[in-house]
Structure 1
Amino acid sequence: MRFTDRSEAGRVLARTLAGESWTDPLVLGLARGGVPVAAEVASALGGELGVAVARKIGAPGQPEFGVGAVTAGGDPIFNEEAMTALGLTPEDMADTCEAERREAQRRLDLYGNGPMRLEDRDVLVVDDGLATGVTARAALREARGQNPRRLVLAVPVGAADSVRALSADADLVVCPHPRTDFRAVGRFYQHFDQTTDDQVIELLNRQH
């Protein structure tokens, strides 16, 4: 199973979500790759499109190896297994957390999406896939603090164990294609070019 691109993945995901009843839906695409997927979902559900930014916290000297994630306004989330394996504590990561928090805020300011009302709405956090789930968890926990009516994580494809684990952070997790052979999100797409900031801004502006 491979999607042509993120837009097709969004349409597949939207068809799965169409069977639910939604109250004033707000669809938050996880920047950046989740936004094209979320745009299709928002269009299909008649919902408002927004953006969520959660930044990976990279290990010291290994920035591509994520040990956690943080949003502009939420507490950092750590992968305890990875932290223990590397002998790290949250205090060790304080400077990195703060740098990534600032970057998350910079991106929110750049996208110009502004503060959005989550209270008493059905809020769907959407990404292009779910690997470890640490960035999705950070976004969900920040959203939960704003009292949504219902909090949903929706991804077109994901690691089956991560899909199960994230059910503790969302009222509903929707994943049409949970995979036990999951290794990387990109292998489930024919075209998986990096989504740019300009593309995110264009998609957000298209809805307003």
Structure 2
Amino acid sequence: MIFRNREDAGKKLARKIKEVLKREALEDAIVLALPRGGLPIGAAIRDEFQIPMDAFLVRKIGAPGYAELAMGALAMGGAMIVNEEVFRMFNPSEEVVEHLIKTAENELKYQNTKYRKGRAMPEVKDKVIILVDDGLATGATMRAAIAGLKKMGPKKIIVAVPVAATDTLKKVQKEADQVICLFSTDAFSSVGQWYEDFSQVTDEETEQLLHPSEE
């Protein structure tokens, strides 16, 4: 299954959610999207069900010298997930690990200021959370997000993604209350391979997706 772009994937995922979930299940729901790639996905779901959406901030902890390879991830609230396989591969020193974590913490603070503009994050306690991204590769950021959200006491965490690596999907299914995924496969090298257009979401697009009423 190939998606034209994130908007296309989001609309198809919204239709699947509509098939799987009863309308009553969404009465107390909030969409939380992982920036930046998850924002167009979340916006499509928000627009379909007319429910609130916001960003849930997670920072990938890249491997030394290979920033795009997730050695772990740090979420809002301090929850951290370690990708044990990648960690063993690089076996970084304690000093390097501390530096990477501190860098991730600083980036989370910066993103929080940038995306929220002083607004508080929506109250998630006793709410149904639809947690979305544009796909699951290693799953480190999604798993960190789940761990972070669990500390906040939601009623239910539903992970919704267009595509996922099969092994990663199995891990996430153990940690979330429910997972809705359009397509999973073992033949998975990157999320971008499943999109015709996988352009980076720009600052302007991010602003419009998060604050459409301010446009």
TM-score norm. by structure 2 comes to: 0.91
Q: Is the 8 A contact 1:28 1:126 kept in 2?
A: yes
**Are 1:68 and 2:37 matched, yes or no?**
no
Q: Is the 8 A contact 2:70 2:138 kept in 1?
A: no
Whole-angstrom CA distance in 2 between matches of 1:163 and 1:90: 30
Q: Which residue of 2 aligns with 1:121?
A: 127
Sequence identity of aligned pairs in percent?
A: 34
Q: Which residue of 1 aligns with 2:85?
A: 81
Structure 1 window deviating more from structure 2 (155-164 vs 14-23): it is 14-23
Whole-angstrom CA distance in 1 between matches of 2:162 and 2:213: 22
Q: Which residue of 2 aligns with 1:12?
A: 12
Unaligned runs of 5+ in 1: none
Q: Report how far residue 46 of structure 1 moved.
A: 2.1
Q: Which residue of 2 aligns with 1:41?
A: 45
Whole-angstrom CA distance in 2 between matches of 1:148 and 1:134: 20
Q: Report how far residue 91 of structure 1 moved.
A: 6.0
- 1:162 corresponds to which of 168, 186, 191: 168
TM-score norm. by structure 1 comes to: 0.94
Q: Report how far residue 86 of structure 1 moved.
A: 1.8
Q: State the Cα RMSD in Å.
A: 1.6
Moved over 3 A (4+): 88-92
| 1:12-34 alpha-carbon deviations (Å, 9 max, x no partner) | 10011113032311101100010
Unaligned runs of 5+ in 2: none
Count of aligned residue pairs for this structure pair: 208
- 1:138 corresponds to which of 141, 144, 155: 144
Q: Which residue of 2 aligns with 1:104?
A: 108
1:89–1:23 CA distance, 2 compared to 1 (3 A): farther
| 1:135-186 alpha-carbon deviations (Å, 9 max, x no partner) | 0011111111111111011100111111111112200011011112111111
- 1:25 corresponds to which of 26, 29, 52: 29
Q: Report how far residue 42 of structure 1 moved.
A: 1.3
Quick check: which one's helix share is greater? 2
Whole-angstrom CA distance in 1 between matches of 2:184 and 2:198: 19
Q: Is the 8 A contact 1:72 1:104 kept in 2?
A: yes
Whole-angstrom CA distance in 1 between matches of 2:157 and 2:35: 18
Structure 1 window deviating more from structure 2 (6-15 vs 193-202): it is 193-202
What's the secondary structure of 1:175's corresponding residue? strand
Match for 2:38: what amino acid?
G
Whole-angstrom CA distance in 2 between matches of 1:50 and 1:207: 13
Q: Is the 8 A contact 1:5 1:191 kept in 2?
A: yes
Q: Which residue of 1 aligns with 2:60?
A: 56
Whole-angstrom CA distance in 2 between matches of 1:126 and 1:151: 10
Whole-angstrom CA distance in 1 between matches of 2:138 and 2:212: 31
